[in-house]
Amino acid sequence: MAKPIRLGLIGDNIANSQSPRLHVLAGRLCGLDVRYERLVPAAIGEPFETVFARCRAEGFRGINITYPYKEQVMRFLSVPDRAIAAIGACNTALFTNEPPIGHNTDYTGFMSAFRAAFGAANPGRVAMAGAGGVGKAVAFGLAGLGCEKLTIYDTSPERVYPLVASLRDSGFAMKAEIATSMEKAVEDADGLVNSTPLGMTGNPGSAIAKHLVAGRRWAFDAVYTPVETEFLSYCRSAGLVVISGYELFFHQGVHAFRLFTGAEVDAAALRRGLAEGEASERMSA
């Protein structure tokens, strides 16, 4: 009998993460025995680096990393992809090499989610709130999609400067700018992106105010718990085409599963299975 594939997620606020369900179901669909654990450093009573090292020592095939450790993990990884190295954040680590190989499936997953919604269309000019780990991945994803201009606002400006510098040095044609307010950022925007935790369960609100939405073409929210955030709700009401954080979660998860296992899951069957599992949970709640 094949040895189980042991995977996990390290993060601080992951009680509602659907990653365990996605990877276990993807494994089942591919005939693989996948075990996936949630690992919260504070709950374990160990710092991130100790938890990460223990996963390596205990035979995990790989680990997903989420807030606030996507940048911190970089010092333990080899990152051969130049774009991901420039992002400066990884959400997936493979322990099949030494040192472990770092990937960013938020970066590739966002591009896949955008293409699924819009085909080959150009993102145009985009305003983004937030320059943290997921913001960096989305920014480089937009550059890879041919975005004309990205204007970024963050309440901590010191996070924006290195991101804009990395984007300008990356060789992409996209123009990258820093805004002094969200109002300034959206002035000529076709698309709106929320890459902050605002709107997440337990952290209500929106980084992009309702009155700034009118006249835009599309919107993306990196938050996926809940799927229908306040931000996406009023974007939808204003007639924008919206991409939910669930789409990023789904596509990045499929990409991570491929990296972890080498297997290609049937994405349509996986999506159906996840939806059925969520419906069953709601009925039993």
Going by DSSP bridges, is the β-strand pair 175-178/149-153 parallel, antiparallel, or unpaired? parallel
92-131 pLDDT, tens digit per residue, is 999 999 999 999 999 999 999 999 999 999 999 999 999 9
Whether the pLDDT of residue 282 is over 80: the answer is no
**pLDDT score at 94:** 98
pLDDT for 243 equals 98
pLDDT tens per residue across span 33-92: 999 999 999 999 999 999 999 999 999 999 999 988 999 999 999 999 999 999 999 999
Closest by CA to 153, choosing from 145, 164, 143, is: 164
**Annotated catalytic, 67?**
no
> Which of 109, 137, 114, 76 minimizes the C-alpha distance to 256?
109
Paired tokens of 67: 């807030």
Q: What is the model's pLDDT at position 64?
A: 98
Tell me which of 105 and 17 has the higher pLDDT. 105
Q: How far apart are CA 62 and CA 5, in angstroms?
A: 9
Going by C-alpha positions, the residue among 81, 144, 84, 85 that lies closest to residue 115 is 144
Catalytic residue from among 36, 67, 69, 153: 69
Question: What architecture is the 5-105+250-263 domain classified under in CATH?
Answer: 3-Layer(aba) Sandwich (3.40)
pLDDT higher than 60, residue 176: yes
Top-level CATH class of 107-246?
Answer: alpha beta
The domain ranges of the chain are 5-105+250-263, 107-246
Mean pLDDT, the chain, rounded, equals 94
The pLDDT value given to residue 283: 47
**C-beta atoms surrounding 226 within 10 Å:** 16
Q: Please tell me if the domain spanning 5-105+250-263 has the same topology as the one spanning 107-246.
A: yes
Separation of alpha carbons 224 and 59, rounded Å: 30
Helices assigned H by DSSP within the chain: 19-29, 41-44, 48-57, 82-87, 105-118, 133-144, 157-169, 182-185, 230-237, 245-261, 267-284
Angle between helices 133-144 and 157-169 (to 10 degrees): 30
- Output the pLDDT for position 281: 57
